[in-house]
Structure 1
Amino acid sequence: MSSTDIEKLESGVSEDITYRSVRGRFTNANPPPPPTAALPPPSNGAALGLFSFGASCITLSLYNARASGVTVPNVVVGMALFVGGVSQFTGGIVEFCRRSTFTGSVFCIYGNFWLSYAAVLLPGTGISAAYDGNADMLGDALGIYLVIWTIISFMFWIVALRKTVALVLLLSILIATFTLLSIAQFTGSSAVAQAGGIVGVVTGFGAWYVGLGELLAADPFPPFLLPQGVFKH
C-alpha cells in the first residue's frame, strides 16, 4: 500500500484501496474461459417419419388393392418392421428431442402400429394361428384393431386443424383408409378391402408429399418449395 493510500485513509476518503493496489499485478493472471459454442438444434425428424410411413403404407395398400394379383400381404413384414416401425419410431424420438409433442407422438405411435401389425403377420408370434378354423373371429378381431387406429387418427386430425392444410388432408385420407379396412374386416367384403387399398395408396403418396415438403423446407438452398397451406393463427 502506497503512502498516498495511507494519507487517503487518514483523511477519511472512501475508496477501494486494496483493489487499486493489486489491480496492476493480477488483472491478467486468470483470463476468462472462452465462450462455450452453442450446440446446433436437433435435425428435423419429420421427413424421416413421413417417408417411412408412406413407403410402408403404399406397399401394404398395393397388396390390399390386389396389385398384380397378390392377395397375401405377409411379404410386407420386413417393410413394416424396419421402415414403418424402427425408422418411423426413430423420427418420432428426434421430434421429441426438438420438443415437438405432436409430431413426436404421431411418428412414435404409428411406428408402433407397423410393429404391432407385423407381429400379427409373423407366424412365429402365433397371433394369427390362434384363430385357425375361425376366420370370422379373426376378421372381427382385426376390425376392432383397425377401429382403434381410426379413433387415434381422428384425434390427431383434431390437433392438425391448426397446422397445415396438407397435414389435415393426409390425416383425413388416412382415416378413410382405416375406416374402409375396418369395414372390410367386419363384413369380409373383398371389394371394400380393395377400395381401402386404393385409398391407402393415395395416403402413402400424400405422406411422401408432406415429407418432401419438410425435406425441402429444411434445406438451406432448396431448388423449390412445396405448398403446405399453413393456417394463420
Structure 2
Amino acid sequence: MEQIKLGNPAAVGLAGFGMTTFLLQCHNLGWIGTGPVLWLGLFYGGLAQFIAGFLEFKVGNNFGFSAFVSYGAFWMALAAFLIFGTSPEIVKSYPLLKLTTPEVAYFLLAWTIYTGIMFIGSMKANGALAIVFLTLFLGFLGLTIKEFTGSATIGTIAAWDLLLCAFSAWYLMAHIIFADLGINLPVGKAWL
C-alpha cells in the first residue's frame, strides 16, 4: 500500500503567525490602523494557526501543537479583546468588558511567561526556530514593560524586535515550503 505524503501544518501556522505579527507591528509603529490586524488576527493568525496546531497534534508534534493552538488562541483573544473591550456601545452595555491598561499588561505578562517556556524548548530544534521564539519572548517582554510603565520608547523597540520575529517566522515557513521543491534553506543547529 502506497503511503500518502501529508503536508506540514507548520507552513500555514508560521505564515499566519508571521503575517499577523507583521501587521500588528505596522500598527504599533503607527503605519496602519487596527482593521487589518483584527481581521487577520481572527482568521489567519487565529483560526488558521489554531487549525494548524490541531494538525500538528495529529502528526504527534507536541511543540507545534502547543505553539500553534496557543498563539492561534492568542490572536483570536487579542482581536476579541480589542473589538469588545474598546467599543463604547458594548462597554456601555457590558462594563466588565472595558479594556484597561493593567489588564493588557497582565495579559501580555502571561504570554511572556508562556513564550519563555516555549523558547527553552525551541532551542532543542534548530537555530531558526530559536530565533523566532527569542525575538517573540523579547517582544512580549518589551510590550509588557511598555504597558506597565507607559514607555513609548520600549513599545517602539518591542515593535521593531517583533518585525524581526515576523520575518524569522516567514523564513522558517519558506524553509518548510521550499524543502518540498528541492531548495534547502539553512536553519542552523540546535542551541541546546
User: Does TM-score exceed 0.5, indicating one fold?
Assistant: yes
Tell me the alpha carbon deviations over residues 156-214 of structure 1, each in whole angstroms, 9 at most, x when there is no partner. 11111211011111100001110111111111222222222111111111100011111
Q: How many residues align?
A: 188
Task: Kindly provide the amino acid, as one letter, of the partner of residue 34 in structure 2.
Answer: P
Quick check: 1:85–1:111 contact (8 Å CA) kept in 2? yes
Q: 1:60 aligns with which of 24, 30, 33?
A: 24
Larger Rg: 1
Quick check: 1:42–1:94 contact (8 Å CA) kept in 2? no
TM-score, reference length from structure 2: 0.88
- Where does 1:104-115 land on structure 2 (aligned, <5 Å)? 104-115=65-76
Q: 1:156 aligns with which of 112, 115, 118?
A: 118
Question: Larger % of helix: which?
Answer: 2
> 2:131 corresponds to which residue?
169
In structure 2, C-alpha distance between the alignment counterparts of 1:116 and 1:194, rounded to whole Å: 23
Tell me the alpha carbon deviations over residues 204-226 of structure 1, each in whole angstroms, 9 at most, x when there is no partner. 11100011111112x1x32x211
1:86 is the counterpart of 2:47: yes
Instruction: Give the % identical residues.
Output: 29
- Where does 1:99-138 land on structure 2 (aligned, <5 Å)? 99-123=60-84, 129=91, 130=95, 138=100
1:205 is the counterpart of 2:167: yes
Which structure 1 segments of 5+ residues have no match?
1-36
Q: Which shows bigger deviation, 74-83 or 202-211?
A: 74-83
Considering only aligned residues, what root-mean-square deviation do their CA atoms show, in Å?
Answer: 2.5
In structure 1, C-alpha distance between the alignment counterparts of 2:191 and 2:19, rounded to whole Å: 31
The Cα shift of 1:66 comes to 1.7
Tell me the alpha carbon deviations over residues 85-134 of structure 1, each in whole angstroms, 9 at most, x when there is no partner. 011111111111111111111111100000100111113896993479x9
The Cα shift of 1:140 comes to 1.2
- Where does 1:17-36 land on structure 2 (aligned, <5 Å)? none
The DSSP-based 3-state class of the residue aligned with 2:174 is helix
TM-score, reference length from structure 1: 0.73
